[in-house]
Amino acid sequence: MDQEEIQHLDDELIMNDVARAVEERELVAYYQPVYDLRGGSLVEVEALVRWTLPDGTLIPAALFVPSLDRMGVTAGLDWFMAEEGSAMQPKVGVPVALNFAALHADDPAFIQTLNDTASWHESQGAQLHIELQERFLTDESLGMGDFVASLREAGICVTADNVTSGVEGLPVLAELGVQQVKLARSAWEDMDAEQLAAYVACADELGLLLGATGVESAEDAEFLSDAGCARAQGFYLGEPMDADALLSTDALKENH
């Protein structure tokens, strides 16, 4: 099976293949560094799942996670990544961002499970940042406000990921209790310098730590930095890498 074959499988077949991949340890955690644009230091790493086929082919999450999401079976994958991220966090010395599906909002044991997972790996729940898609956070039918409030009460940082709404969306996220915002490339690349600066100023006023994704060039980084954007990630700053590659990076060595 290769990437093209996976694209043509239906959701149930992909779900079954991923279940087998978990058992056979074909799923691996990759980590993408997040940098402080003001000082240049490494401030976080985001854990991203990859599927490594027996022939070495690397399958990106975009080709299989949406199917799991539609089937409502992402919980197992999310906790697999939480285990991996918890084990990595003490080694990197910065918070590890974990992506979770909206379905976890209905789990009353979520925080306890997260803390237990972190403790088992000699990490702390507060060092595991929870990333939730903006589209889930702002879907009133999902009732995410109580979930975010419980996370914050437990001292766990919540990030709104893949944010595409304009300035008008920031107060909604702030009211929900989100602490960080990751602005999608598709949103910030359509802004001019004045618009982005206004967006940054609004985020600052609301107490939201603003980051940007999809930084692909020095020009991108300069554009974001000049507007006052606090954090950024992207292939220009650092590609997703496996654990061994991450632990050997110069940026990580500077943190120790």
The answer to whether 65 touches 51, Cβ cutoff 8 Å, is: no
Distance of CA 56 to the CA centre of its chain: 24
* Ramachandran assignment for 159, one of left (phi > 0), alpha (psi -120 to 50 degrees), beta (any other): beta
- The mean pLDDT value of the chain amounts to 88
- Interval 192-219: pLDDT, tens: 999 999 999 999 999 999 999 999 999 9
The pLDDT value recorded for residue 73 is 53
Contact 252, 42 (CB under 8 A): yes
Distance between CA 120 and CA 225 in Å, rounded? 38
Q: What's the confidence (pLDDT) of residue 52?
A: 81
Any bridge partners for residue 47, and if so which?
A: 31
| pTM (whole model) above 0.75 | yes
Count of alpha carbons within 13 angstroms of residue 200, beta-carbon side: 20
Pure H helices in 44-143: 65-71, 75-92, 110-120, 134-137
Domains of the chain: 3-242 (3.20.20.450)
Nearest to 129 by CA among 225, 60, 31: 31
158, β-bridge pairs? 130
> Per residue in 22-77, pLDDT tens?
655 778 899 999 999 988 999 999 999 888 877 777 777 777 766 666 666 577 88
pLDDT for residue 12 is more than 80: no
CB of 213 within 8 A of CB of 234?
Answer: yes
What pLDDT is stored for residue 31 in this prediction? 97
C-alpha 215/C-alpha 237 separation (Å) is 7
* φ/ψ of residue 53, rounded to 5: -75, 160
List, as one string, the DSSP characters of 131-189.
Answer: EEEHHHHT-GGG-HHHHHHHHHHTT--EEEEEE---GGGHHHHHHHT--EEEE-HHHHT
